[in-house]
């Protein structure tokens, strides 16, 4: 069964840090870009970041402003999001999602076709 | 940053009737390879988002054929041929042309 499972969410004070994890199973995680998407309470979806299969390419939403770092460990089939200098505006459910597939013949985009169940991050004093 | 504008934001529909959601982009989403990098997602209450349509018009695996996507460039449409009760939720378009993906505001579909 193809799935992604997030963990690491919790309650953090403003200015604090948190590291989210996402573990994949049922597919070759090392062949895919992976994305983070978040959703603040009662709000819409907001794309956060994504990372290439090798980890060499990383991209972030404008609001990140150097506070977040995405990384991955393909041997552990895992994706991470290190979040620093957290503010109340970062309170959200954070989802990981499978992104672009990269094979020997090239890159293939099929949408964000697999999503985790999400992990909740609450920033409050 | 590419801005996506959806309309309507609220869509009450009678079961069995068709529904249509528009997504307009501030920039052309047609790649040089001829593909439009625009997806549609649905989020049912309390659930994770689910991919419905990718690259403008391709239905994702397992998505019923009553869902269809069309459009090119800056104007896109998601159509539901005959709405069912299970189709309630919030529908989002998302562009993947730029490396910084962006979502539309969402359209809430409810059953009359």
Give residue B32's pLDDT band: very low, low, confident or very high (50, 70, 90): confident
Q: What pLDDT is stored for residue B68 in this prediction? A: 98
Rounded CA-CA distance B98/B104 in Å is 14
B67–chain A Cβ distance below 8 A for any pair: no
- Cross-chain Cβ contact A47/B55 below 8 Å: no
Mean pLDDT value across residues B93-98: 97
Is the CB of B54 less than 8 angstroms away from the CB of A46?
A: no
Angstrom distance (rounded) from CA B42 to CA B61: 14
Q: pLDDT value at position B82?
A: 98
A contacts of B54 (beta carbons < 8 Å): 109-111, 113
Which residues in chain A have their CB less than 8 angstroms from residue B105's CB? Answer: 44
* CB contact residues (below 8 A), chain B span 13-52, against chain A: 35, 37, 39, 41, 43, 48-51
What's the whole-number mean pLDDT along residues A108-113?
Answer: 95
How many Å lie between the alpha carbon of A55 and the closest alpha carbon of chain B?
Answer: 15
Any chain B CB within 8 A of the CB of A63?
A: no
CB proximity B63 to A under 8 Å: no
Output phi, psi for A75, to 5 deg. Answer: -65, -35
- B106: nearest CA partner in chain A: A44
User: Could you please report the per-residue DSSP string of A38-107?
Assistant: EE-TT--EEEEEEE-TTS--EEE-GGGTT-EEEEEEGGGTEEEEEE-S--GGG-EEEEEEEEEEEETTEE
Predicted confidence (pLDDT) per residue in A68-88, tens digit: 999 999 999 999 999 999 999
DSSP β-bridge partners for residue A25: A3
Kindly state the tokens that stand for A70: 């995405």
Pairing label, strands B75-80, B19-25 = antiparallel
Contact with chain B for residue A95, Cβ under 8 A: yes
Number of C-alpha atoms within 13 angstroms, CB side, residue A111?
25
pLDDT exceeds cutoff 90 at A103:
no
Residues in chain A: 125
pLDDT at residue A3 in the model: 97
Q: B94: which chain A residues are within 8 Å (Cβ-Cβ)?
A: 45, 47, 112
What is the interface size between A and B, counted as CB pairs within 8 Å? 62
pLDDT value for B98: 95
For chain A, give the mean pLDDT.
97
**What is the model's pLDDT at position A104?**
85
Q: Is B7 left (phi over 0), alpha (psi -120 to 50) or beta?
A: beta
Question: Do residue A44 and residue B92 have CB atoms under 8 angstroms apart?
Answer: yes
pLDDT value at residue A105: 87
- pLDDT tens string B14-29: 999 999 999 999 999 9
How many Å apart are CA A54 and CA A39, to the nearest integer?
27
**pLDDT > 90? residue A47:** yes
Q: Is the pLDDT of residue A49 over 90?
A: yes
Give the angle subtended at the CA of B55 by the CAs of A45 and B29, to the nearest 5°: 80
Place of tokens 């579909």: B109
pLDDT for A63: 95
Contact in structure between B50 and B44 (CB atoms under 8 Å): yes
Element (H, E) at B108: strand B107-111
Summarize the confidence of residues B62-72 as an average pLDDT.
97
């Amino acid at each position: 069964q193809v799935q992604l499972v997030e963990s690491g969410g919790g309650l953090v004070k403003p200015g604090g840090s948190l590291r989210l994890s996402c573990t994949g199973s049922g597919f070759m995680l090392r062949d895919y870009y992976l994305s983070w998407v978040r959703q603040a309470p009662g709000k819409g979806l907001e794309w956060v970041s994504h990372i290439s299969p090798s980890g060499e390419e990383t991209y972030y939403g404008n609001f990140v402003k150097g506070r977040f770092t995405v990384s991955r460990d393909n041997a552990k089939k895992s994706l991470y999001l290190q979040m620093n200098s957290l503010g109340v505006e970062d309170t959200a459910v954070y989802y990981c999602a499978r992104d672009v597939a990269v094979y020997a013949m090239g890159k293939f985009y099929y949408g964000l076709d697999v999503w985790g169940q999400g992990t909740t991050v609450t920033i409050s004093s | 940053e590419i801005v996506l504008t959806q309309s309507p934001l609220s869509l009450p529909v009678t079961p069995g009737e068709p529904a249509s959601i528009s997504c307009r982009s501030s920039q052309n989403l047609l790649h040089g390879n001829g593909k439009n990098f625009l997806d549609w997602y649905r989020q049912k209450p309390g659930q994770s988002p689910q991919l419905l349509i990718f690259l403008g018009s391709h239905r994702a695996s397992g998505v019923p054929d009553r869902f269809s996507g069309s459009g090119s460039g800056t104007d896109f449409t998601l159509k539901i041929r005959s709405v069912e009760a299970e189709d309630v939720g919030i529908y989002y378009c998302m562009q993947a042309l730029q490396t910084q993906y962006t979502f539309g505001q969402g359209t809430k579909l409810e059953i009359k």
